[in-house]
Chain A
Amino acid sequence: MSPSPPQPRGLFSGRDRSIKIFLAVTVVPLVLYMAFWTLFPLIWGFALAFFEYSPRRAGGPILGLGGANPYVGLAHFQAMLNFSSDAPKHVRQFHTALKVTIIFAMLVVPLNLSITLPLAVLIESIHQRLKPLFRTTFFLPVLAPAVGVAIMWGFIFHPQRGLLNAILGKLAGHLVAINWLGDPKLTVFGIPVALFAVIVAYIWQDMGYNLVIFIAALQSIPPNLKEAARIDGANAWQMFWKITIPLLMPTILLASVLTMISAFQVFDIIQVMTDGGPRGQTQVLLLHIYNYAFRYQKMGWAAAVALVFFVLVLVISIIQSRFLRTQWEY
Chain B
Amino acid sequence: MTATVHPQARRGFRFRYAYLLLIPLALIDLIPFVWMILGAFKTGAEIRHIPPTFFPHTFTLDNFRTVLNDPQLPLALFYRNSAIIAFANVAQVLFTSSLFGYIFAKYQFRGSRVLFWFILGTMIIPSQITMIPGYLILARLGLINNLLGLIIPSAIDAFGIFLFRQFAYSIPNELIDAARVDGASEFQIYWKIVLPQLKPALATLGLLTFMFNWNAYLWPLIVLTEQRVRTLPIILTWYSTRMGNKYNLTMAAAVLVVMPVLIAFAAVQRWIVEGITLTGMKG
Using a CB–CB cutoff of 8 Å, the interface residues on chain A facing chain B are 11, 15, 18-19, 21-23, 26-27, 30-31, 33-34, 37-38, 40-42, 44-45, 48, 55, 63, 119, 121-126, 128, 134-156, 158, 160-163, 165-166, 169-170, 175, 204, 209, 212-213, 215-216, 223, 226-227, 229-230, 236, 239, 254-255, 258, 261-262, 264-265, 267-268, 271-272, 286, 289-290, 293-294, 299, 302-303, 306-307, 309-310, 313-314, 317
Contact = CB atoms under 8 A, between A and B. Distances in A.
Given A33-B156, A155-B35, A148 B186 contact: no
Contact of A294 (B214, B222, B232): B222
B262 A140 contact: yes
Given A42-B130, A137-B30, A145-B258, A125 B14 contact: yes
Interface string B155-192: 11000000000000000000000001100011100000
B37 to A, nearest CB: 10
A299 B132 contact: yes
Contacts of A119: 25
B103 interface: yes
A169 B53 CA distance: 12
Contacts of B214: 145
B266 A37 contact: no
Contacts of A55: 136, 139
Contact of B282 (A135, A162, A166, A258): A258
Given A23-B109, A125-B14, A262-B283, A139 B273 contact: yes
B136 A37 contact: no
B237 A272 contact: yes
Contacts of A163: 31, 35, 52, 54
B22 A126 contact: yes
Given A152-B35, A303-B132, A317-B124, A134 B15 contact: no
Contacts of A264: 126
A286 B128 contact: yes
B134 interface: yes
Q: From B99, B126, B139, name the one whose CB has the most chain A CB atoms within 10 angstroms.
A: B126
A239 B12 CA distance: 11
18 contacts: A18-B185, A27-B112, A30-B100, A33-B156, A41-B130, A41-B134, A42-B125, A138-B29, A139-B269, A140-B30, A142-B272, A152-B32, A156-B31, A163-B31, A169-B51, A209-B282, A213-B277, A223-B11
Given A26-B99, A40-B137, A286-B128, 12 more contacts: A34-B119, A125-B15, A128-B11, A134-B26, A136-B269, A143-B262, A143-B269, A145-B233, A151-B240, A212-B273, A254-B280, A258-B282
B10 A41 contact: no
B150 interface: no
Contacts of B54: 163, 166
B39 to A, nearest CB: 6
A265 B29 contact: no
A204 B283 contact: no
Interface in B124-144: 124-126, 128-137, 139
Contacts of B254: 148, 151-152
Contacts of A30: 96, 100, 115, 156
Interface of B: 5, 9-15, 18-19, 21-22, 25-26, 29-33, 35-36, 39, 47-48, 50-52, 54, 96, 99-100, 103, 107, 109, 112, 115, 118-119, 122, 124-126, 128-137, 139, 152-153, 155-156, 180-181, 185-187, 211, 214-215, 217-218, 222, 232-234, 236-237, 240, 245, 247, 250-251, 254, 257-258, 262, 265-266, 269, 272-273, 276-277, 280, 282-283
Given A143-B211, A223-B11, A45 B100 contact: no
A161 B247 contact: yes
A317 to B, nearest CB: 6
Given A299-B132, A309-B128, A151 B250 contact: yes
A148 B18 contact: no
A146 B136 contact: no
Contacts of B99: 26
Contacts of A286: 128, 218
Contacts of A152: 32-33, 35-36, 254
